[in-house]
């Protein structure tokens, strides 16, 4: 996942998607009234406005970015490349014979190369601006018949797909909502789930706390870390077992990638 640790708090970086859940109320201080947090609304608003402009540049090879954003672009690209290597090692025939749901697709960084390899991809994002940009990019490459894009949160997704992917999204789900997210995605995946998340380790927790000391003016979302044990447990409860894993780490991007198959 695009872990917005020090970079995110300083530069206002964020990543797509958030849970469909009631606002969570946090105590701002012992004396103050609770502050309610609606992650989904914050992310949706952000990515339909300033966040779209920022992340569209980051996800564009020719987009003008600063050094931190370039580092995040590189890390995200490495995660996508690792998934595509898994796909290529499995053979194009298995890809073209099945269906693929890419949940939280952003501007199509994964959905488009999958369609180029022959997959039938149904992709969605919580932000209409992101899904529309992905649709435009796919159309420019003549892939409209292979890839479709829509605006949807994760909990509204339905149907059945051979593979369901959800990349750089779990960072917007608080730990108490993560298992429900995995369970819902597992409910629409017939064979395989591919997920990534920001791992909860002492080092990443320290980096996150350091970044929170320098809040950026446009920072509008929270970054949540998850332990591998908790994610593996959620996968097991959904009926899936990990089959391949990878780790991507650059200066400002940290992501644990997991492929899990139905048991």
Q: Return the half-sphere exposure (C-beta side, CA atoms, 13 A cut-off) of residue 200.
A: 13
Which is higher by pLDDT, 6 or 230? 230
Residue 15's pLDDT is: 36
Contacts of 221 (CB under 8 A, 6+ apart): 4, 14, 15, 18, 39, 42, 43, 46, 172
List pLDDT tens digits, range 26-51: 444 444 444 455 677 777 777 777 77
Which is higher by pLDDT, 251 or 113? 113
**Mean pLDDT on 219-238:** 88
List pLDDT tens digits, range 2-26: 444 444 433 333 333 333 444 555 4
List pLDDT tens digits, range 62-78: 778 999 899 999 999 99
Residue 89's pLDDT is: 94
Q: Could you give the CA distance from residue 50 to residue 246 in angstroms, rounded to a whole number?
A: 31
Instruction: Please report the DSSP string for 51-90 in residue order.
Output: HHHHHHHHTSTTS---HHHHHHHHHHHHHHHHHHHHHHHH
Q: What is the 3-state secondary structure (H, E, C) of 165-206?
A: EECCCHHHCCHHHHHHHHHHHHHHEEEEEEEEECECCHHHHH
Task: Dig out the tokens for 148 from the structure.
Answer: 């479709």
Please provide the average confidence, as pLDDT, over all residues in the chain: 83
List pLDDT tens digits, range 77-128: 999 999 999 999 998 777 888 999 999 999 999 999 999 999 999 999 999 9
Residue 212's pLDDT is: 57
Residue 134 has phi, psi (to 5 degrees) of -60, -45
């Amino acid at each position: 996942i695009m872990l917005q640790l020090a970079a995110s708090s300083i530069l206002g970086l964020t990543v797509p998607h958030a849970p469909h859940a009631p606002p969570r109320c946090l105590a701002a201080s012992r004396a103050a009234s609770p502050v309610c947090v609606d992650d989904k609304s914050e992310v949706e608003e952000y990515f339909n406005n300033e966040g779209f402009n920022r992340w569209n540049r980051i996800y564009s090879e020719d987009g003008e970015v600063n050094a931190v954003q370039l580092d995040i672009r590189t890390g995200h690209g490495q995660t996508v490349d690792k998934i595509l290597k898994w796909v290529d090692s499995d053979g194009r025939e298995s890809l073209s014979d099945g269906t693929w749901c890419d949940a939280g697709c952003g501007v199509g960084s994964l959905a488009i190369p999958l369609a180029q390899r022959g997959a039938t991809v149904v992709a969605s994002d919580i932000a209409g601006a992101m899904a529309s940009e992905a649709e435009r990019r796919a159309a420019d490459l003549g892939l409209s018949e292979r890839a479709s894009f829509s605006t949807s949160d994760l909990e509204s997704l339905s149907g059945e797909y051979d593979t369901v992917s959800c990349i750089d999204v779990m960072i917007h789900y608080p730990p108490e909502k993560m298992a429900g997210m995995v369970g819902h995605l597992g409910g629409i995946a017939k064979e395989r789930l591919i997920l990534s998340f920001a791992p909860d380790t002492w080092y990443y927790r320290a980096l996150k706390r350091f970044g929170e000391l320098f809040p950026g003016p446009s920072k509008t979302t929270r970054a949540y870390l998850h332990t591998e044990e908790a994610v593996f447990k959620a996968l097991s409860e959904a009926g899936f077992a990990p089959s391949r894993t990878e780790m991507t780490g650059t200066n400002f991007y940290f992501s644990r990638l997991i492929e899990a198959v139905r048991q």
